[in-house]
Amino acid sequence: MTLSPAETAAPPPAVSVVMAVHNGLPYLEQALRSILDQTLRDIEIIIVDDASTDGTGDILRRLAAEDARIRVMTNETNLRLPASLNRGLKSATAPLIARMDADDISLPTRLRVQKDFMDLHPEVVLLGASIHTIDRQGKILRTSVRGRDSVAVRWLARFNMPLTHPTFMFRRLMPNGSTQYYSEEAGYAEDYDYVVRALQHGEIFSLPDVLLSYRTHDISISRKNWREQQQHARDIAMRLQACELPDEVFQALAPFRQSYYDLEPASPEKIFSGLRVMLSHDLKRFPSHRSWLKRQTAQLAATTFLRCGRQKGAILRAFLESGRDFLPALGLRYLETRRLLPLPLRADASMQRQIASAGPAMPTASQQ
């Protein structure tokens, strides 16, 4: 009996890892080997060389010769990150896509842990994880535990990017059968734009597990282009706020947006007033997240004043004069971020425990 090509073709891998790189030295090989050494072996690694000129191509060809799971695609001209990622996505065959950058390090169990969670939760279309932030030499500068359920991710996404891009794992096909690509018009906020559009298709979570070491250095895109990135982020955030919030809440937040995104000082009274309107709306919708929402809103107010150049003394005065009702939550959030608050009093503790031990049918934002 002769088998058809479909019957003889190898099944797709469990995960496609997609990386786009432009001049990835000196960290590229370390980043790639962290993927090659994953405990989940059933993967393909698609790397788009975005017209590198520094020897990146030589490293990619050598590693591809060592491991057949690597596929290299080369752009003749520099297309930039979103277009290069889209080229890789179009070539991917696995049901799950994992992102990776050329200067980060994935911990050995990253792909296995994320795949297992995605398999248990078909309602989740995109998954992030917690990170170590490392310097050029790989020294850990800090650890960010970002265990967030769908309520937390959706709330944080109203204002800025709620996940770390190279921790992404997402479904190649959305529930409606389409593939979601990166927007090439979103500037340096293509990851944030992807998250906001993915929220239209399903739920997004972030694991409390530290699964990636995220390298920070002076030439990283996020440092070089922060101001332009924030301008694009403002447009994306306003789109989500206008979509998800009642009009009266959206309008009340105008002074907050003026300060947070445009860096133009607005009246503290008006900023706090708008945040109170939003908090009242959120507490009615998500009563199970009461403590978390109050602390996050207080922190958002403080961050807004910081962005406008206020010093700590001026921020404290603004809270005392116009936002005294937010002070207890701000104090608790301060202790929480520094791990000085006992675990039972941390607003995110129960959320992180729930995600870490999650079985099927996790509660989601759409169910609350």
Encode the chain in three state secondary structure. CCCCHHHHCCCCCCEEEEEEECCCCCCHHHHHHHHHCCCCCCEEEEEEECCCCCCHHHHHHHHHHHCCCEEEEECCCCCCHHHHHHHHHHHCCCCEEEECCCCCEECCCHHHHHHHHHHHCCCEEEEEEEEEEECCCCCEEEEECCCECHHHHHHHCCCCCCCCHHHCEEECCCCCCCCCCCCCCCHHHHHHHHHHHHCCCCEEEEEEEEEEEEECCCCCHHHHCHHHHHHHHHHHHHHHHHHHCCHHHHHHCHHHHHHHCCCCCCCHHHHHHHHHHHHHHHHHHCHHHHHHHHHHHHHHHHHHHHHCCCCHHHHHHHHHHHCHHHHHHHHHHHHHHCCCCCHHHCCCHHHHHHHHCCCCCCCCHHHC
What number of other Cβ atoms are within 10 A of residue 74's Cβ? 14
The string of pLDDT tens digits covering residues 235-287 is 999 999 999 999 999 999 999 999 999 999 999 999 999 999 999 999 999 99
Provide the pLDDT for residue 358.
Answer: 66
CA dist 353 and 368 (Å) reads 19
Quick one: average pLDDT of 45-63? 97
CA dist 307 and 265 (Å) reads 9
Domain ranges of the chain: 14-224, 245-358
Full-model pTM: 0.91
Quick one: average pLDDT of 335-356? 82
Percent of residues, the chain, with pLDDT higher than 70 = 91
Quick one: average pLDDT of 297-321? 96
Contacts of 218 (CB under 8 A, 6+ apart): none
Average pLDDT, rounded, for the chain: 92
Superfamily of domain 14-224: Spore Coat Polysaccharide Biosynthesis Protein SpsA; Chain A (3.90.550.10)
368 confidence band (pLDDT: 50, 70, 90): very low
CA dist 127 and 249 (Å) reads 29
Above 60 in pLDDT, residue 2? no
Could you tell me which of 142, 155, 148 has the C-alpha nearest to residue 348?
A: 148
Above 50 in pLDDT, residue 51? yes
